[in-house]
Structure 1
Amino acid sequence: MSLRPSSGTVFRRTVDTARLQGRSRMGGVGVHVRAALLLVAVAMGVKVLQVHAGEEGSFCGSGPSPLCCTGKQDNCSVPITEDDFCFCDSYCQDNLDCCPDYDQVCLGESELRIEEVRGASLQLPKCDVCTHSSSGLVCAENHCMNDLALIDELRRRKNQLGWTASFYDKYKAVDVDEGLRQLTGTMGPTRMVLKRHEVKAPSSSIYIPAEYDFRKRFKERLVSVKDQGWCGASWVFSTLSVAQDRLAMASDGLYRVSFSAQDLLSCGKMGPNGCLGGHLDRAWNYLRMVGALPEVCYPYDSGFTGKLPRCSKRTGTGCQSPYKSGPAYRVPSKEQDIQREIIANGPVQAVMTVHPDFFLYKTGVYSYSELGSPHSAAHSVKLLGWGEELVNGKMVKYWLAENSWGKDWGEGGFFRILRGEAECGIESHIFAAKPECELLSHGLKVVCN
């Protein structure tokens, strides 16, 4: 149970006695569980609320487990201190009205989720965590990725901002600076890359529709969103994601392959710091000189461990013929040039600045709120379309982008970001490369369109 003094930033709510009085029922099992929780708090030296027999009904309602209610029922609660309660119900996961140990205490879940396994194995720095010492309760004061005050303020301003924030259970109690290190990972373009001339934009005769979504071209035939986990490897994931889609497009859907990020990280000889970031040009050079292998030849592991295992790719069927790309090139930063490039050749890679509020994005057209921690990091994503949306009576243009934080983040792993105004630098550095389909083997030779 996570405990904090009354003045601390919290994953709990101060008790409202009027709201709690006479609103619930509790079975005998719930009494024993709640009593056990109170004993733990007492053992830690925390002064807890004394509950009399006549007050038992004020703390827990009936539900699928002794300490959990169904839906929005704040009467299911656990007393922590004289002033503080944790309200434990399924509604709280999205509305922040619960304890940080909600799953285990309130739902009685015994198995750890994969994000918690990652956090445990990686020993990620924690925030809002308290420990009991001889001098009293000592609590970490570093910023959390799930900054509750920030989430509340973002939600209050959602109409003004045009996007909605959410609490993400997988970021629970993780320090925001560690999130910036582990969930991004793109280093600034090298001097050589910056000196490159931008390629000539595709023909100006290409019609640019008001809305475009590359996914609709192949519907369900594209590779699904991936999760880089706790490894700063967006420089790898965004490169491979763009290369996958362009291969599918150039081969008319014949080659729809999920490329191995672990192969590039472990076998690319990029140095031991692959999970601490890398350069996009080096990832593209690997695809040009060596080529990408299918995911099945070397499944991804670094996002769970934070480490780079030794190069140990499989040698079975399909693992002997890597998929190569031509030399990477820069796309002009003008909005219409980027759109024509996507229509003509497929999705592109974009570098953006990630601010802590971006971790909390759930839906809408993102733009930096200028709230929260001032820290930031460079990140790379895939642009695959665009559109317009009415926000506060005004049509707002956006890019459609794919992130590498899993399907449970944002809009199914995708997000929309303000278009045409270089929001977070999203249009400043655009990269891509054309696949070399004619070099593929497997008994076939496919000429790129």
Structure 2
Amino acid sequence: MYQGRVYPTFGTYQDNCNRCTCKEDGQWECDQEPCLVNPDLIDAINRGNYGWTAGNHSVFWGMTLDEGIRYRLGTVRPTSSVMNMNEIQMVMSPDETLPSAFSASNKWPGLIHEPLDQGNCAGSWAFSTAAVASDRISIHSMGHMSPALSPQNLLSCNTHNQHGCRGGRLDGAWWFLRRRGLVSNNCYPFSEGDHNGAAPAAPCMMHSRHMGRGKRQATAHCPNSRTHANHIYQATPPYRLSSHEKDIMKELMENGPVQALLEVHEDFFLYKSGIYKHTPASLGKPERYRQHGTHSVKITGWGEEIQPDGQKVKYWTAANSWGPTWGENGYFRIVRGANECDIESFVVGVWGRVGTEDMSPHH
């Protein structure tokens, strides 16, 4: 008997991410997998006064923590040679002060694109790259071009040492954007159906060819037959910022959103609102309850907040790629200035390749 219903011997029911089976002796035997949505962990976080609120993001219900780490992240940690890229130090005069709060969408209204949803595709490497490039091209063309670039174009076509929905590298994604370019998301939409778990991405439907003067042209019509705008957008090589919060802030304020690595722990999936920092709520549990993996996100602003105890907490605002219903409308805030979850360890900017010929109305 379970919840008023009688099950036959070897009958099963699903309890979140675990399957329970009725044994011959009439007892239930349940799998013991740690679930991605863990009600005990949600309670512990919300009782613990950590400065943020946890909750159940319903699309994660029924997934194991292991599946969350495998299918919802997908950025390969950069190699040491990439991590050692020369950092750009922003030049600041001694008397220069930065505002206590900044939002890219306030400074560049209409040019900052909303978060997309990577689904069960370990493709954050493609989503964060396309997201940052979309905003940067829009800002640097002063709004003449404001494409939402296609993560699917990267997932399917950037295949050299990349693994689509099984993970990829940021440096490889930026190389592709510089050398081959991307079309808009409207032209080449994300096909979630292809990514059931870690299935390979769909085959590449579009390539680009060289036109001279560094320009490229699409070799095919858009996979989305309702649009004919198959313009190719490119970017300059990426540049790495120093991990100092002031350098990241100045770059963000002057040139637009930046891409950042993020080490995601088991409690981050449960984030609902507030200023995130990784909690010790799982410390008493066996190691399989404490998993983490590398992700990448788009930082769009910063601020500070006075906590109930009177302490001032500084934060970054960042866009995730888990859709608009996760977190604060698809965004999250995270402690700033302490390299929380590696958020300041590898931060990248890029310039949209915007020439005068790109400004003509027919583009």
TM-score bracket relative to the smaller structure: 0.7 to 0.9
Within the candidate set 266, 269, 276, 1:366 is matched to 276
C-alpha offsets along residues 385-421 of structure 1, whole Å, 9 cap, x if unaligned?
Answer: 1000111221100001110000000000000000011
Q: State the match for 2:56 in structure 1.
A: 167
Where do 1:108-257 residues align within 5 Å? 127-134=17-24, 136-157=27-48, 160-204=49-93, 207-257=97-147
Matched residue type, 1:389? E
Change in 2 beyond 3 A, CA 1:219/1:443: closer
Where do 1:86-101 residues align within 5 Å? none
C-alpha offsets along residues 73-105 of structure 1, whole Å, 9 cap, x if unaligned?
Answer: xxxxxxxxxxxxxxxxxxxxxxxxxx989xxxx
C-alpha offsets along residues 34-70 of structure 1, whole Å, 9 cap, x if unaligned?
Answer: xxx84xx313359xxxxxxxxxxxxxxxxxxxxxxxx
Matched residue type, 1:405? W
Q: State the match for 1:29 in structure 2.
A: none
Secondary structure, aligned partner of 1:352: strand
Q: State the match for 1:108 in structure 2.
A: none
1:432 has 2:321 as partner: no
Larger Cα-atom Rg: 1
TM-score (norm 1): 0.69
* Cα displacement (A) at 1:207: 4.2
Of structures 1 and 2, the one scoring higher in RCO (CA 8 A, sep 6+) is 2
1:44 has 2:22 as partner: no
In the alignment, structure 1 segments of 5+ residues that lack a partner are: 5-36, 47-98, 102-125
| Contact in 2 for aligned 1:233/1:276 (Cα 8 Å) | yes
Q: State the match for 1:389 in structure 2.
A: 305
When you count strand as a share of all residues, which structure comes out higher?
2
Question: Percent identity, aligned pairs only?
Answer: 37
Q: State the match for 2:213 in structure 1.
A: none
When you count helix as a share of all residues, which structure comes out higher?
1
TM-align CA RMSD:
2.5
Give me the whole-angstrom Cα distance separating, in 1, the residues matched to 2:299 and 2:188: 26
Aligned length: 332
Matched residue type, 1:398? Y
Where do 1:227-376 residues align within 5 Å? 227-271=117-161, 273-302=163-192, 305-306=195-196, 307=199, 308-313=201-206, 315-316=221-222, 317-319=228-230, 321-372=231-282, 373-376=289-292
| Contact in 2 for aligned 1:358/1:368 (Cα 8 Å) | yes
* Cα displacement (A) at 1:171: 0.8
C-alpha offsets along residues 364-393 of structure 1, whole Å, 9 cap, x if unaligned?
Answer: 000010223221001111111100011122
* Cα displacement (A) at 1:298: 1.4
Matched residue type, 1:197? N
* Cα displacement (A) at 1:302: 4.3
| Contact in 2 for aligned 1:127/1:144 (Cα 8 Å) | yes
Change in 2 beyond 3 A, CA 1:221/1:429: closer
Matched residue type, 1:404? S
C-alpha offsets along residues 350-374 of structure 1, whole Å, 9 cap, x if unaligned?
Answer: 1111001000000000001022322
Give me the whole-angstrom Cα distance separating, in 2, the residues matched to 1:389 and 1:100: 42
Give me the whole-angstrom Cα distance separating, in 2, the residues matched to 1:127 and 1:100: 7
| Contact in 1 for aligned 2:111/2:139 (Cα 8 Å) | no
